[in-house]
Copies of this chain bind each other. A is one copy, B any other.
Amino acid sequence: MAYHVPALQNLIDKFASLPGIGRKSAQRIAFHVLNLPDDAIKSFSDAILEAHEKIHCCKICQTLTDSEICSICAQNDRDKSIICVVESPQDVMAFERTKEYNGTYHVLHGLISPIDGVTPDQLKIKELLVRVTENDIEEVIMATNPTVEGEATAMYISKLLKPFGVKVSRLAYGIPVGGSLEYADEVTLMRALEGRNILE
* Chain A interface residues (CB < 8 Å from chain B): 1-8, 10-11, 14, 18-21, 25, 27-34, 36, 38, 41-52, 54-55, 63-66, 70-72, 75, 88-90, 92-93, 96-97
Closest B residue to A96 using CB positions: B3
Residues of B within 8 A of A19 (CB): 28-29, 32
A interface, over-half SS: helix
CB distance from A20 to the nearest CB of B (A): 5
Please measure, in the bound complex, the distance between the C-alpha atom of A43 and the C-alpha atom of B113, giving whole angstroms.
Answer: 31
Given contacts A3-B92, A10-B47, A50-B7, contact A55 B34 (CB under 8 A): yes
On whether the beta carbons of A45 and B41 are closer than 8 Å, the reply is no
Residue in B8, B31, B36 whose CB lies within 8 Å of A88: B31
On whether the beta carbons of B55 and A7 are closer than 8 Å, the reply is yes
CB distance from A195 to the nearest CB of B (A): 28
CB distance from A2 to the nearest CB of B (A): 6
Residue in B5, B70, B75, B89 whose CB lies within 8 Å of A66: B5
